[in-house]
Structure 1
Amino acid sequence: MMRNFTQVSYFTLGAYYETELFKYLYFLIVLALYVAIVSANVFLIVIICMNRSLHEPMYLFLVSLFANELYGSTGLFPFLLVQILSDVHTVSYSICLLQVFCLYSYGGIEFLTLAIMSYDRYLAICNPLQYNTRMTFNKIVMLTALIWIYPLFINAVITYGLTGSLQLCGNIINKVYCDNYYIVKLGCSDITVNNVFGLVHMFTVIFGLVMLILYTYMRILKVCFSGSKQTRQKAFSTCTPHLASLLNFACGAFFEIVQGRFNMTSLPNLLRIVLSLYWLTCQPLISPLMYGLKLSKIRIVCKTLLFGRKM
């Protein structure tokens, strides 16, 4: 039976509650996080681009990763800052779809970048003699283009082709930002295509990337346990920050998926907000800190820049 529907021109974000007393505190916290994220990621991008010693495949992929952190953060934080100070938590239909596109494409680019970086580490550690011939400049350009073009295209199809064509029976999204799944649940028309496309995309792409990452790390661990002490040290020093970044992002995405698909109303509202924001706030902040502190080449360049000499 078809439910009554009207043309939706705006959405109301229903997860904001009792923020009047603390809204300036929340605003300062979010602003500080955004400034820290932008500063850390821009700093490392400049460090890598300005130093020829860092013009290696791993560091060039890091530039793509840091650029994506800036992209995803810009799709979220300015929006949050405006909403925190606003007395009416509404957003236009077009801006909401634009935010959905930005945040979901950010997630796709992040996951694909981490998968290709694991493949790069696999080649460097397991096939070091063939690394330079297999990871050529043309291949780096091709992989970087794939990292950005594929998620942007797929999420444009999902956001504007599928979600944007739905007839909606409501306009209340129970989150602090726009979410594709919550918009789809408001649909009056048949959402079977949306659900099937989402499941197929999740299974084929994410499952494939997970298998690639697991395979590369199984091979890397095999080399670590059977190789020399120097090989083990190189593997651990370059793979530890990557693995930590991957696990952090995967956990945040898992929290988001679970919260969206299951009834989590038993949890405090503030906790649900924190969990929904985790994958969008902690990853952009932790990644530059993790790579900047753990990768010796970046650490040396930073120390030289800050203190004027190698330490």
Structure 2
Amino acid sequence: MGNSSEIVSFVLAAYGNVGALKYMYFVTILFWYLFICVANTILIVVIRVDRRLHEPMYILLCNLCVNEINSSTSLYPLLLSQMFSDSHEVTVPLCFLQMCCMYTTASVEFCSLAAMAYDRYIAICHPFSYNVIMNTERVFMLILLVWIFSFVSFLLSFSFIFGLRFCGNIIDNVYCDHQLIIRLSCSVSIHSSISIIFFVIMSIFIPFSLISASYVKILRVCRKTSTENKQKAVTTCTPQIVSVSNLFVGCICYSIDFRFLVSQVPDEVHIILPIYLLICQPMLTPFITISLQSKILGLMSYPFQ
């Protein structure tokens, strides 16, 4: 296999031979994927139908639910299709498409949470200007910018992979990961190191900086306000804080697995750690929102005064 023209597909080698367990794995994965789609869709429908929820915070939350469905769809259908495959092959274009979807939705996740943190900052720190700054038109424009920014960030970071020549086609994972794909290239350039650094800065560091700045300012305001308003702030910000915390737990799991403990962890852990976010995060948003909805209804929609 000397060049890219001879590589028409990659082999996802981490599946191995699961034997009769493939039926259990298939049912479990299918159930979890459907559960994610149904839970997020229900939340989207509720927000669409209930006019009381036609507010910036819920519109941003609806966008986050759409992204949870997209991120899950980038992984689970391929997992399901590979359960009954003997070769575990995936074509090169499909592999690149999955990589594009996964990294774009990851960026959208962080950027959406940054937008939601900004919304809470305006609502709590500038309540009298909230309806002017966070009107419906600007919220939809903000959502559009989040998706465009995330897609462009992916292209600027990883588009060089599309032109690589590959001297191997065995990916030791259950999905198409850019680091493992780069290792298969005939020549590794400096782009491979710069790409992930650029993506982390654009899609993780910048959004996290905005989230941190927003909550620091919210904390300062809350220290000077009444107990009732402090409770409102905690109630509306808790889901976002939990989501951000879980994202970073997932990022740590991914980084540890691929950079430090590749040869020291069991195969099962090696498979699960990189996809931890795609297992837990898509269900976290609807679960937290639904569990707290009785408390936040009527609070998240209005500025704090």
Same fold (TM over 0.5): yes
Partner of 2:302: none
- The one of 193, 196, 202 equivalent to 1:195 is 193
Structure 1 residue 190 displacement after superposition:
4.2
Q: What is the aligned length?
A: 297
Runs of 4+ off more than 6 Å: 297-300
Partner of 2:89: 90
Matches within 5 A, 1:128-277: 128-159=127-158, 161-277=159-275
Partner of 1:59: 58
State whether residues 54 and 297 of structure 1, in contact with CA within 8 Å, keep that contact through their aligned partners in structure 2. no
Query: Partner amino acid for 1:237?
Result: T
Alpha-carbon separation, structure 1, partners of 2:204 and 2:247: 13
Matches within 5 A, 1:272-311: 272-296=270-294
Structure 1 residue 196 displacement after superposition:
1.5
Alpha-carbon separation, structure 2, partners of 1:298 and 1:60: 15
Alpha-carbon separation, structure 2, partners of 1:198 and 1:241: 28
Query: Partner amino acid for 1:140?
Result: V
CA 1:205–1:88 in structure 2 vs 1: closer, same or farther (change >3 Å)?
A: closer
Partner of 2:110: 111
Alpha-carbon separation, structure 1, partners of 2:199 and 2:102: 16
Residues 109-133 of structure 1, C-alpha deviations (whole Å, 9 max, x = no match)? 1111011111111111121111111
Query: Partner amino acid for 2:233?
Result: A
State whether residues 110 and 203 of structure 2, in contact with CA within 8 Å, keep that contact through their aligned partners in structure 1. no
State whether residues 40 and 66 of structure 2, in contact with CA within 8 Å, keep that contact through their aligned partners in structure 1. yes
Structure 1 residue 158 displacement after superposition:
4.0
Query: Partner amino acid for 1:58?
Result: M
Residue 29 of structure 2 is aligned to residue 30 of structure 1: yes
State whether residues 48 and 55 of structure 1, in contact with CA within 8 Å, keep that contact through their aligned partners in structure 2. yes
Instruction: Quote the sequence identity (%).
Output: 38
Query: Partner amino acid for 1:296?
Result: S
Residues 181-202 of structure 1, C-alpha deviations (whole Å, 9 max, x = no match)? 1111212234212321331332
Query: Partner amino acid for 2:255?
Result: I
Structure 1 residue 213 displacement after superposition:
1.0
TM-score norm. by structure 2 comes to 0.92
Alpha-carbon separation, structure 2, partners of 1:240 and 1:224: 14
State whether residues 153 and 202 of structure 2, in contact with CA within 8 Å, keep that contact through their aligned partners in structure 1. no
Q: Which stretch has the larger CA shift, 190-199 or 285-294? A: 190-199
Query: Partner amino acid for 1:191?
Result: S
State whether residues 122 and 216 of structure 1, in contact with CA within 8 Å, keep that contact through their aligned partners in structure 2. yes
Residues 222-244 of structure 1, C-alpha deviations (whole Å, 9 max, x = no match)? 22332111111101111111110
Alpha-carbon separation, structure 2, partners of 1:220 and 1:85: 51
Residues 288-307 of structure 1, C-alpha deviations (whole Å, 9 max, x = no match)? 1111111337779xxxxxxx
Matches within 5 A, 1:71-90: 71-90=70-89
Alpha-carbon separation, structure 1, partners of 2:174 and 2:199: 26
Q: Which stretch has the larger CA shift, 72-81 or 146-155? A: 146-155
Structure 2 unaligned spans of 5+: 299-305
TM-score norm. by structure 1 comes to 0.90
